Amino acid sequence: MGWLNGRVAVVTGASKGIGRALSTAFANEGASVVCAARSEALLNQIVALIHEAGGRATAVAADLSTEEGARLVVERGLEAFGHVDCLVNNAGDSGPTKPVQEYPLEEWRYTIDSDRVIAGQADARGTTPEAIRKSFLERSPLRRMATADDIAYAAVFLCSDHARSISGQCLPVNAGEPAS
């Protein structure tokens, strides 16, 4: 019996990265998942993976930065599953975009770098990303870095009955990394 059996979760930004991990974790815990993002092809991939594992999910390609897109996601979720219990607002954008050929190299690297925090720290300290990773691991009480799955299962917990008395709290998912 999963922690989210019978629940319906809307996961925005569901097509890749943390959103993909969120969608999978919620489905693994028994939730029906409304996977929302802009890329229909990527959404179809995650929904297919959830279905193959025996879960329930539907894909809704929409621009969640607009009221129309947000309404569409909720409407499709209600059509597919009858109700919505949880919203995991994972969608995000780094701001205005432009054609790829107009990006300066630094902005392009920032956009595609999956480890932006480490790259930013390395740049600010005049060292390499590898040195920053080593420093993080040495300072971390758990001797590892948080993963997308770690974040996803924290969200599962917060949407479950196990967190029914938690409200308005900050839950750092950082493998014990001290703030600095």
Tens digits of residue pLDDT in 116-168: 767 778 888 999 888 888 887 888 888 888 889 999 999 999 999 999 999 98
Reported pTM = 0.80
- Integer CA distances (angstroms), 33 to 3, 40, 135, 159, 180, in order: 14, 15, 37, 13, 36
Say if residue 19's pLDDT is above 70.
Answer: yes
Q: What percent of the chain has pLDDT over 70?
A: 86
Structure tokens at 82: 């009858």
Closest CA to 34 of 53, 15, 54: 15
CA angle 61, 171, 6 (to 5 degrees): 50
Distance CA 122, CA 137 (A): 14
Say if residue 109's pLDDT is above 60.
Answer: no
Side-by-side strand order, sheet with 32-37: 56-61, 32-37, 8-12, 86-88
Structure tokens at 166: 């938690």
**Residues whose CB falls within 8 Å of the CB of residue 94, separated by 6 or more in sequence, listed in order:** 110, 111
Distance CA 176, CA 146 (A): 9
Q: What percent of the chain has pLDDT over 90?
A: 60
Assigned CATH for 8-93+147-163: 3.40.50.720
For the chain, give the DSSP string. --TTTT-EEEEETTTSHHHHHHHHHHHHTT-EEEEEES-HHHHHHHHHHHHHTT-EEEEEE--TTSHHHHHHHHHHHHHHHS---EEE------S----GGGS-HHHHHHHH-TTHHHHHHHHHHTS-HHHHHHHHHHH-TTSS---HHHHHHHHHHHTSGGGTT--S-----STTPPP-
Q: Which of 38-42, 96-100, 121-125, 167-171 has the lowest mean pLDDT?
A: 96-100
Domain map (residue ranges) of the chain:
8-93+147-163, 100-139
